[in-house]
Amino acid sequence: MVFELPDNLHPDCAPVAWLLGRWGGRGKGDYPTIEPFEYAQELVFTHDGRPFFHYFARSWIVDADGEKVRDAAQEAGFLRCRPEGNLELVLAHSSGISEIWYGKAEVAKFELHTAGVGYTESAKEVTGGKRLYGTVNGDLLYAYDMAAMGQELQPHLWAQLERQ
């Protein structure tokens, strides 16, 4: 699917404009405190001309045939685009976690690191993370490393999504 640059895109958002739109696909997850799993996911990035994108993601656990087993995580927030490719992500999760992330956009990719994590008393203890997003042959690839539940920062999720 061809991506067209929006007319009202804020200049600070140009390095990550390729994210705009709806993405869908499958990924895998693993962590020492859980059983490995497969999931399907939908990501949506929208904008209104100001220097940020609204972000929403939802996922569901799938079986080996790709059939939905149950709903999984949701997250929503704002990817704030700053001058010179600098990025800030403000994110809230349905699981009771909120995070502040910082990073920098490069050509067709960016990496974010947590600057602060908060969680409700009923949420799992997440203490840090790293996210890598990139576009390869028109697909969105990402990886999420997490430090949680007394574990060191390590791979947790990875997926390949297609523009919808």
DSSP letter assigned to residue 66: S
CB 127, CB 147: distance < 8 Å: yes
- Give CA 43 to chain center in angstroms: 8
Is 109 annotated in a binding site? The answer is no
DSSP 133-164: EEEETTEEEEEEEEEETTPPSEEEEEEEEEE-
Is 124 annotated in a binding site? The answer is yes
Please report, in range form, the residues annotated as the binding site. 33, 124, 156
Binding positions for heme b are: 33, 124, 156
